[in-house]
Structure 1
Amino acid sequence: PPMRPTPAFGGGRGKKRAVLIGIKYTNRRSCELRGPINDVKCMRYLLTERFGFPNDCVLILTDEERNPCRQPTKDNIRMAMHWLVQGCSYGDSLVFQFSGLGAQVPDDDGDELDGMDEALCPVDSFQQGPILDDEINEAIVRPLVHGVKLHAIVDACHSATVLDLPYQCTVSKQTGRWRWRDERPMTGACKGTTGGQAVLISGSSNGKSNMSVLPEPYATIGAMTHSFIRAVECEPRTTYGRLLTSMRAIMRDSSGNCNLQGPIGGSIRKVANFSGVEVSQIFLPQVLAACTLASVTVAHVTIFAHIY
């Protein structure tokens, strides 16, 4: 669908910009989540305090916002994605975070190897439908020009290929080593950037959607978001390979305990009152990447190279 004019989100247009989306789905009690709002609060603190993102360049959409333009509806998420990449240029560092529900729907254009499109569910998805990976790719991946880097952190079920990126990094169960897998569609459709780099860190394999939520009155944080923040806090200038290895270890060892350590831990606890981990998916993190060179290896790419 054609992009609509960006609403009056306000904020700046600095070289570091982020869109953070957290949806609890309080309008659907059977689907309600408790972690996404805290995910957004924690990620905002990490970006602004640790990586120097200006507060007015971080756009937040949650279903707790009173401003209608900041509600995570399908239209608002579309416009927020447009805002994120509009006019991007060399040296820009962009972050897209989504914490909520994911979905799969039958692929209708033949560009999915498994015959299914992955999708993100806006707060009004039950009325307006989800946002498909094809649209997300076109909105925030294809426009990335040379020198622009996008990091997407998606804590949702069915999220492994939700940006439709052409290469996937997986771990070998036999050797424990990371390896790239070619995910380019057989139709020849282009799913890469226009010279920039896009990296997706997701917490769930496609087709997996187990749910386990801590009982009231606990406020929680998503398992993948929790492991990501802890891993970055432990080693801020890490590589992708080391980041994923650390996240996998944290997710295996957390056992429902939210124990953020280091300088950022105490500060985050002031803005997000949580006491446990919400496991919206039990599968361990994967990285998908769209790079100008297919031979880029995980262990030699510095995480957040453009965020510092």
Structure 2
Amino acid sequence: MIRPPWKKALCIGLRYGNLRKIHEDLELTGAHNDPERMRKLLVDHYEYKEEDIVILRDDNGLEPTKDLITKKMQDLVRGAQPGDHFVFHFSGHGSQVDAIADPNEIDGRDEVIWPYDVKLDIDDNGQLRVQNFIRDDDIKRYLVDRLPPRVRLALVFDCCHSGTAADLPYNFHFNVDEGNFIQEESPRRIILARGSSPYGGCTPIDHGFITESGMPEVRAVTVKPTFTRQYSAPSGFDTPADVTSWAACMDDQLGFDCPITGGLFIQLFTCILDCNPAQTHRNFLETLTMELAHQCKSYNLNTKDGEICVIPRPQLGSLRHSREILDTLFVL
């Protein structure tokens, strides 16, 4: 039956106060702000209605457990028809686990997100063991694989190891060539890493990152694209739906949380689009990359305790090759 196009969103922000008993650094005290930022962006600039945005946070008695999150994922896109727009946003912890016979995982690792009822313990070597998570394969299966043609879906991940969290076939980022910027596989935390290890990190900061208005200052930038992972799609693979994923960092990196204001990536993501909601995928990824680098560089220049932030690289994933999307308009 023909109906008007839907615009629906599922926004999740997890604080994990229940994990403080394992280690106090596992609590993301600012993460509850992130869904509200995304909700406001969608309503103010992309014509979403309040009643069509579902927000899940672990603060109102309805904990975002694995079962609840996966149910809401399926509810989000159930009944999708051509012309519909969907947004899935997750702010919380992410990590990597051994892949299950997945030839698309070149590094042999699956990216996972942590629900409220994630199971954690510390092994004899002091390493964190994670169970009861949501795999990237499941995210793709629930949200992407069943979409009909001409449906638009954007997935936004503000968590560690999130580069390919939607398990899309084409993934790319932009190189930042800034001379003395430090590049490593796993950067230290700026404030609190949204990652898989509760150990090692920085002290809270009182400066940098955010302006007095509470939002990052955004500037125009231009950088050169670099492709990070592309594997051949299987024979007969069709990509009619317009699906993109936006990740706070690459698979081997950490994302950052600010105790009061929330995830740094989401703050930049929403602020940039609030300033200019109509821009290409290329321009948006450029600006995200350079703004995050600028914020991290500002922290490094002002830090007094010797902690140096290694710059995470936001990553764009897609069902389509870059030549098909980079210069097209990004719309939520």
Tell me which interval the TM-score lies in, with the shorter structure as reference length: 0.7 to 0.9
C-alpha distance 303-16 of structure 1, shift in aligned 2 (>3 A): same
> Over residues 109-158 of structure 1, what are the superposed CA-to-partner deviations in whole Å (9 max), with x where a residue is unaligned?
13211100001100101176110011111110111211101011100001
- The residue aligned with 2:330 is 303
User: Shift in Å at residue 249 of structure 1?
Assistant: 2.5
Query: Take 1:210 and 1:62, find their aligned partners in 2: how far apart are those partners?
Result: 19
Same amino acid, percent of matched pairs: 29
What is the identity, as a one-letter code, of the residue corresponding to 1:27?
Answer: N
Task: Name 1:51's counterpart in structure 2.
Answer: 46
The partner residue of 1:209 within 254, 259, 266 is: 254
Q: Does 1:105 align with 2:152?
A: no
Matched AA of 1:121 = W
Question: Aligned Cα RMSD in Å?
Answer: 2.7
Deviations along 1:159-204, whole A, 9 cap, x unmatched? 0001000001222457941144553379x499x7762011001011
1:185-264 correspondence runs (5 A): 188=234, 195-209=240-254, 213-214=258-259, 219-254=260-295
C-alpha displacement at 1:246, in angstroms? 1.3
Letter in 2 for 1:33: L
Which amino acid letter does the alignment assign opposite residue 81 of structure 1? M
The structure-2 alpha-carbon separation of the partners of 1:88 and 1:244, relative to structure 1 and needing over 3 Å to count, comes to same
Structure 2 match to 1:85: 77
Which position in structure 1 is the counterpart of 2:193?
none
Q: Aligned AA for 1:225? A: I
Read off the aligned partner of 1:206 and give its amino acid letter.
Answer: D
Cα distance in structure 2, aligned partners of 1:153 and 1:88: 19
Asked whether the 8 Å contact 1:14–1:57 carries over to 2, the reply is no
Q: 1:210 to 1:194 in 2, by over 3 A?
A: closer
* Unmatched segments (≥5 aa) in structure 2: 121-130, 178-221, 299-308
Query: Once superposed, which parts of structure 1, at least 4 consecutive aligned residues long, lie more than 6 Å away?
Result: none
Pair 1:282–1:23, CA change in 2 (3 A): farther
User: 2:9 maps to which residue?
Assistant: 18
Deviation of the 1:80 alpha carbon: 0.7
SS at structure 2 position matched to 1:254: helix
1:168/1:250 CA distance change after superposition, 3 Å: same
CA 1:255–1:161: 2 relative to 1, 3 Å: closer
Unaligned runs of 5+ in 1: 1-12, 258-279
Equivalence for 2:30: 35
CA deviations on 1:3-56 (whole Å, 9 max, x unpaired) are xxxxxxxxxx96100000000000011210022110111111111122111111
| Shift, 1:254, TM fit | 3.3
What is the letter of the counterpart of residue 159 of structure 1? S
Alpha-carbon spacing, 1:213–1:281, altered in 2? closer, same or farther (3 Å): farther
**Higher normalized helix content (fraction of residues):** 1
Q: Tell me by how many angstroms 1:256 deviates.
A: 10
1:207–1:303 CA distance, 2 compared to 1 (3 A): same
Quick one: which of 90, 108, 119 aligns to 2:112? 119
